[in-house]
Structure 1
Amino acid sequence: MTKVTKLKIPELKKWLKENDQKELISIITELYKLNDEVQQYLSVKYIGESTVNDLFDKAKKEIKDEFFPEKGFGKMRLLEAKKSINLFKKLTNDSARTVELMLFYVEIGTLFTSTYGDIDSKFYNSMLSMYNKVVVECEKDEKLFTKLDDRLYTIVVKSDGIGWGYHDGLEELYFSISWLEDEEL
């Protein structure tokens, strides 16, 4: 396999400093035309919150469509749903809404398996892994936990009766949250 030579960051910075403003505007405009991610990134940077809201809604729809599209059956491409979450995170750096998307992924996945029946261990491992990531973030931020607690617990309740140890795994993760121990005291 042939390795493509790439410009390194220090070289890029040096090259950019050597160009005048007109040339830089031209380069950025060309990048904008070539790449959707660049368009979204620059829109977040300069338009701000409304673009972040649009990207959040878009990511949420992409996740939902992998499981419950408006027409036909869900393809359940977990990697595609996770890519939507990761792209949102990369473009916006909005950690709170990224966690919301992660939790939505588990909610919609749990609904999918409740609707269509048993899936496979890879599916449940993916759901448990994502739920664990949400729990880890909730451990760091009690306000976030308070905001998401009902949704976290509802997933546990709705998973009752689902196989592959899924319900037990969710329950174990949920009750491992230290904020819950503080409430019980």
Structure 2
Amino acid sequence: MAKADSEKWTEVEKILQKAEKRELIDLVRELYTHSVGDRMLINSRYLGERVKKKMGKMLEKYRKIIKEEFLPEKGLEEIRYSEAERAISDYSNASGDFVGTLDLMLTYVEGGVQFASIFGAIDDELYDNIEGMLDRLCEQLKTEEGQKYYPLFRERVLKAGTGLEYIGWGFEDAICILIADIEAFFEERFEEDKNDT
């Protein structure tokens, strides 16, 4: 397969070398709008440090919004789940940063778990929202793109399942089942990769 891909690339490379500049720019534009991964590669290659700094500041801004919803500095208030979820969505749409979006999803889960462990059994809405976000995060980590980033988030995901023993309402069980499922998924992938080599 690798040899066939290499041969195909040689053919494509010959065609690209003869292409007009405008045609190549149009091709890059199409790739840029086609996928988040392509956009991130092009941004990092050509915009470099300036983009990284801007993205870092933007990520921190949205992370703060999420944290404020679960543990506000001014004291306990009603959690506005839609505000925290909008922060994730807004960041994702503005940046196209898949890893940063995963980070914000996990920040949401961590904030909810921390809130639940401090204040105990609050209501079904809290548990449904936290379980739902963890489920969405795990599904993203199972995608082809997400799989390469699981090691980056694994420790935080595992930690999200600790300290929930006294919360009740099945919250600890639901969180631990989701975490056990994602761990099993990656253990299976690891075994497959090991057997392939």
Q: Same fold (TM over 0.5)?
A: yes
Tell me the distance in 2 between the aligned counterparts of 1:75 and 1:156. Answer: 24
In structure 2, the residue matched to 1:166 is 171
Q: Does the Cα contact within 8 Å between 1:59 and 1:88 map onto a contact in 2?
A: yes
Gap regions ≥5 residues in structure 1: 1-45
Are residue 152 (structure 1) and residue 157 (structure 2) matched? yes
Tell me the distance in 2 between the aligned counterparts of 1:150 and 1:176. Answer: 15
Secondary structure of the residue that 1:82 maps to in structure 2? helix
Q: Does the Cα contact within 8 Å between 2:120 and 2:166 map onto a contact in 1?
A: no
In structure 2, the residue matched to 1:70 is 73
In structure 1, the residue matched to 2:25 is none
Are residue 143 (structure 1) and residue 148 (structure 2) matched? yes
Tell me the distance in 2 between the aligned counterparts of 1:182 and 1:92. Answer: 30
With 86-95 and 137-146 compared, the bigger mean Cα shift is at 137-146
With 56-65 and 142-151 compared, the bigger mean Cα shift is at 142-151
- Compute the RMSD of aligned alpha carbons: 2.0
Gap regions ≥5 residues in structure 2: 1-46, 193-197
What is the CA distance between 1:183 and its match in structure 2?
A: 5.4
Aligned pairs for 1:69-148 within 5 A: 69-140=72-143, 141-148=146-153
What is the CA distance between 1:184 and its match in structure 2?
A: 7.7
Q: Following TM superposition, where does structure 1 have runs of at least 4 consecutive aligned residues deviating by more than 3 angstroms?
A: 181-185
Tell me the distance in 2 between the aligned counterparts of 1:119 and 1:181. Answer: 36
What is the CA distance between 1:74 and its match in structure 2?
A: 3.7
TM-score (normalizing by structure 2): 0.65
Tell me the distance in 1 between the aligned counterparts of 2:163 and 2:142. Answer: 22
Q: Does the Cα contact within 8 Å between 1:65 and 1:74 map onto a contact in 2?
A: no
